[in-house]
Amino acid sequence: MKLYGLPGACSLVDHIALNWTGKPFEYEAVARDKMKVAPFVEISPLGAVPVLEDDGVVLTQNIAILEYLAEKNPEAKLLGGDTALARAEGRRWLGFLNSDLHKTFSLVFGPARWVEGEAAQASLTANASERVKDMFAIANGRLQGREWLSECRSVADAYLFVTMRWAAAKKIDLSQMANLQKHFARMQADPAVTKALQAEGFI
Ligand SMILES: N[C@@H](CCC(=O)N[C@@H](CS)C(=O)NCC(=O)O)C(=O)O
């Protein structure tokens, strides 16, 4: 099994999940200038990570990859528990993080892809940063009185951890969201997370 990623990007979620499975895999960091050209676009038409290769099959789209890893490794409980409801909760938060929070973050990271002119880009970044903060507040509320987004730690928790790193990089202040801060510390203390951060060159 091989994961193609970009250090610190959403592929870090899959990297952590693969570590949680305890099974061997290879990690390859794709250079930014190689992402939108052949041969990478032949396996990832959007020129985006993550990409997972397994037994000659190539998968793109984070949700598909994470669900695939969860199905192949039921003992790792990657969707957050054993029951249909716990797994549905894991998927619910995965959807929230991938489709809502991540997509809004794309506006913060690359406003020039969406609007022209410095003023319009600054305004888009500011507005998107506020929406991102509103979404983090929803996750913070969910974590009131609980350690994980679902019943036990799941790929949704790894996604939340990765997006909190983005918030820090973009100076989006989450310091008042105590539940999120505790969740971040919990994730940082996980050896699988440390291992992924080390392999991606952050530690
Ligand atoms: N919908 C895709 C989005 C993946 C995505 O946005 N990946 C980003 C990294 S977090 C990327 O590869 N960006 C590089 C680019 O598009 O230039 C998924 O969920 O897998």
| Domain edges within the chain | 2-77+193-199, 84-190
Q: Cβ distance 16 to 40 under 8 Å?
A: no
User: Can you say how many angstroms the Cα of residue 167 is from the centroid of all Cα atoms in its chain?
Assistant: 12
Ligand 1 center–CA 49 separation, angstroms: 5
Q: Are 108 and 125 in contact (CB under 8 A)?
A: yes
Regarding the beta carbon of 98 and ligand 1, being less than 6 Å apart is answered yes
Under 8 Å between Cβ of 90 and 81: yes
200 vs 29: CA distance, rounded Å: 8
Q: Which pairing describes strands 51-54 and 57-60: parallel, antiparallel, or unpaired?
A: antiparallel
- Tens of pLDDT along the chain (203 residues)? 999 999 999 999 999 999 999 999 999 999 999 999 999 999 999 999 999 999 999 999 999 999 999 999 999 999 999 999 999 999 999 999 999 999 999 999 999 999 999 999 999 999 999 999 999 999 999 999 999 999 999 999 999 999 999 999 999 999 999 999 999 999 999 999 999 999 999 99
pLDDT value at position 201? 97
Kindly report the CATH number that applies to the domain delimited by 84-190: 1.20.1050.10
The tally of CA atoms less than 13 A away on the side-chain side of residue 49 is 22
101 within ligand 1 shell (Cβ under 6 A): no
Position 172 scores a pLDDT of 98
The answer to whether residues 89 and 77 touch, using CB atoms and an 8 Å cutoff, is no
pLDDT given for residue 116 in this prediction: 98
What is the distance between the alpha carbons of residues 71 and 131, in angstroms, rounded to a whole number? Answer: 33
Nearest to 24 by CA among 54, 50, 48: 54
Residue 61, CB-side half-sphere exposure with 13 Å CA sphere:
6
Q: How many CA atoms lie within 13 A of 175 on its CB side?
A: 2
Please, which residues have CB within 8 angstroms of residue 22's CB and are 6 or more apart in sequence?
76
pTM: 0.98
163 contacts 102 by C-beta, under 8 angstroms? yes
Distance separating alpha carbons of residues 184 and 130, to the nearest angstrom: 20
Residue 61 Cβ < 6 Å to ligand 1: yes
- The predicted pLDDT at position 66 comes to 98
Pocket flag, ligand 1, residue 43 (CB < 6 Å): no
Ligand 1: residue of 62, 91, 103, 159 to mutate (most ligand atoms within 8 A of CB) is 62
The alpha carbon of 145 and the centre of ligand 1 are apart by a number of angstroms equal to 32
Q: Domain 2-77+193-199, what fold? A: Glutaredoxin (3.40.30)
